[in-house]
Structure 1
Amino acid sequence: MDDLKNIQIPKFAEEILERAGRQGFTASCDRLTGSLLRVLVMSKPGASILELGTGTGYSTSWIVEGMDHNSRLVTVEFDAESALVAKDVLGHDERIEFIIDDGGKYIEDHLNEKFDIIFADTWPGKFYLVEETLNMINPNGIYIIDDLNPQSNWPEGHGDKVQELIAYLETKTEFHLAKLDWSTGIIMMTRK
């Protein structure tokens, strides 16, 4: 099976990638992760979704394509220049709230807010404030992270941080956990 064959790319994804390339932004998720996000979002009508790490909006475009008209997305990005691409291309969609701020600050300021899906694609919510982020997930809600398999651009010692994160997530008995050695390496967790 060719898992990249016949993947339908979201309407605005190519434009986002082109603009990201001009900026030198290379941290977007890949097509496989994007396609998984779209499917997961489609499985949760009326979902409340949090994306930590908008980047230039490539993963956001996949999430949005999976959303129904009653779903809402809050997407948080620290880098204003990157977030501007996402907002320029996708900002017409009233279901999206773009927040340009530190993801850690967002988590700390919204500890009592609950989401059906959280995609943590940056340090806050993934490598720190993890417990706080997991507490923001509704029953039957999904937490998803990627980039867990070794990457050529990882800084020295990052592999150890990834292994510590995986070991920590494996202790979370209030969640079901699935590790996917696929795409860039994914963990999905669902609150029991």
Structure 2
Amino acid sequence: MRDVPSQRPPQLDAILAEAARAEFAMSCEDRTGSLLATLAASKPGGRFLELGTGVGAGAAWLTSGMDTAARLTTVETDGTVQALARRHLGADPRIEFVTADADAWLTEQQDPDLFDFAYVDCRPGKYLRLSELLALLTPGALYVVDDMLPQATWPEDHQPRVDAFLEQLPAVPNWRATPMRWASGLVVAARV
């Protein structure tokens, strides 16, 4: 089986080229992105959340699967990095870019059941404050995280965080999760 995506977002090559020039090495890889686009297509009119915009590779994949009625809120702490995403994706009216620390952003959210899909590519909402993030997701919502397999960009003390996250998943109430040793290492979960 060939698992390399045949459909890629039109902006992706330019985003990744600019990321390389900026020495940003933490974009989601193509197989992860293709899965994000496929899962996004399952949520017509959905409200999407991305924690960790980075340079916009994940947002490009998500929006390539979203329909015209869907909306994406993408949160990034580093305004300089997020500016690259805005440059390539800012004309898309479905995207709301939020420059904020994801931890602080989670604190500000008061209403539960806001989102139908969350892709988390930073520590808050994955290794920190998982329950607060999950409270923002509707029944039937999908929760996706990547980078569960060792990455060259990981700090030396990161593996215990990943291990603890994976160990706690089966005990999270009202969620069904599937960890996968595929792509960068993924978890796809659904609220039941």
Q: Name the TM-score, length of structure 2 as normaliser.
A: 0.97
Please say if residues 170 and 176 of structure 2, whose CA atoms lie closer than 8 Å, have aligned partners that are also in contact: no
Give the structure 2 partner of residue 58 of structure 1.
Answer: 57
Give SS of 1:170's match.
helix
Whether 1:112 aligns to 2:111 is: yes
Counterpart residue identity of residue 31, structure 1: D
State the alpha-carbon separation in 2 of the partners of residues 93 and 10 from structure 1: 13
Contact 2:25 2:153 in 1 (8 A): no
Unaligned 5+ segments in structure 2 are none
Runs of 4+ residues over 3 Å off in structure 1: none
Tell me the distance in 1 between the aligned counterparts of 2:158 and 2:167.
Answer: 14
Determine the C-alpha separation between the residues in 1 that align with 2:153 and 2:17. Answer: 21
RMSD between superposed Cα atoms in Å: 1.0
Shift in Å, 1:156:
1.6
Aligned pairs for 1:113-132 within 5 A = 113=112, 114-132=114-132
**1:83 corresponding residue in structure 2:** 82
| Preserved CA contact (<8 Å) 1:17 1:58 | yes
Shift of 1:8: 1.4
Residues of 2 paired with 1:156 and 1:10: CA distance?
33
Partners of 1:27 and 1:146 lie apart in 2 by 11
Q: Would you say how many aligned residue pairs link Structure 1 and Structure 2?
A: 191
Q: Counterpart amino acid of 1:52?
A: L
Aligned counterparts of 1:152 and 1:11: Cα–Cα separation in 2: 27
SS at 1:38's partner residue?
Answer: helix
Cα distance between partner residues in 2 of 1:126 and 1:111: 19
Structure 1 spans left out of the alignment, 5+ residues: none
Distance 1:89 1:25 in 2: 15
Letter in 1 for 2:148: L
